[in-house]
């Protein structure tokens, strides 16, 4: 019998993430207003351009997250043959991965988050799934491997438990 694990969104973690994003957007908006010279009458071009760009990016990500709240499907699915995750833009775009192609699984600190990084052999098999930009982010030229990242920032378990789940399913698939 095939064992399957589905991990769903944790609404408390998602709300905390959304509140943090809103806070960053408000701070960026204040910087935009200040840089535009509203307070002192002096236009500061570089801070205005950079803060405006960051604000737009944050606002788009915030709106995407708000729209994704309606989706009640699992964010990560693991079974004996393959796995799928949509906790990062890269993993969401990549789709289903076969365990037979996994070379390594590690935890990696990235900014304020700890990610589960799955390294894949046989990148030719998965070519064409990602945009050129995402492919360049995932593909390592020196090792000829792909690196996919999965976050626990919005799901019901922490990064250590997620790492253990990935590791256990990988070990069982090779038995």
* 76 pLDDT more than 50: yes
Check whether residue 86 and residue 60 sit in a common domain.
no
Check whether residue 116 and residue 80 sit in a common domain.
yes
Round to whole Å and give the CA distance between 105 and 118.
Answer: 5
* 2 pLDDT more than 80: no
**How would you classify the pairing of strands 102-110 and 139-140?**
unpaired
pTM given for the model:
0.75
Check whether residue 46 and residue 123 sit in a common domain.
no
* 172 pLDDT more than 70: yes
Check whether residue 58 and residue 136 sit in a common domain.
no
Check whether residue 90 and residue 165 sit in a common domain.
yes
| Residue 138 domain boundaries | 76-174
Q: What is the pLDDT of residue 11?
A: 81
Q: What is the pLDDT of residue 166?
A: 95
State percent of the chain over pLDDT 70.
99
Q: What is the pLDDT of residue 99?
A: 94
Q: What is the pLDDT of residue 132?
A: 92
If you average pLDDT over residues 104-110, what whole number do you get?
93
Check whether residue 16 and residue 88 sit in a common domain.
no
Residue with tokens 């996919």: 148
If you average pLDDT over residues 166-175, what whole number do you get?
89
């Amino acid at each position: 019998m095939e064992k399957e694990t589905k991990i769903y969104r944790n609404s408390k973690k998602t709300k905390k993430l959304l509140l943090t994003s809103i806070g960053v957007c408000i701070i960026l908006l204040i910087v935009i207003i200040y840089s535009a010279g509203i307070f002192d009458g002096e236009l500061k071009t570089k801070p205005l351009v950079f803060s405006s760009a960051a604000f737009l990016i944050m606002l788009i990500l915030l709106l995407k997250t708000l729209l994704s709240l309606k989706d009640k499907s699992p964010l990560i699915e693991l079974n004996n043959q393959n796995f799928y995750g949509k906790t990062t833009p890269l993993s969401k775009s990549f789709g289903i991965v076969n365990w037979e192609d996994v070379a390594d699984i590690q935890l990696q600190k990235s900014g304020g988050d700890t990610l589960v990084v799955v390294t894949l052999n046989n990148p030719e098999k998965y070519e064409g799934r990602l945009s050129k930009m995402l492919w360049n982010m995932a593909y390592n030229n020196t090792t000829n491997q792909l690196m996919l990242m999965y976050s626990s920032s919005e799901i019901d378990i922490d990064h250590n438990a997620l790492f253990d789940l990935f590791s256990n399913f990988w070990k069982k698939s090779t038995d």
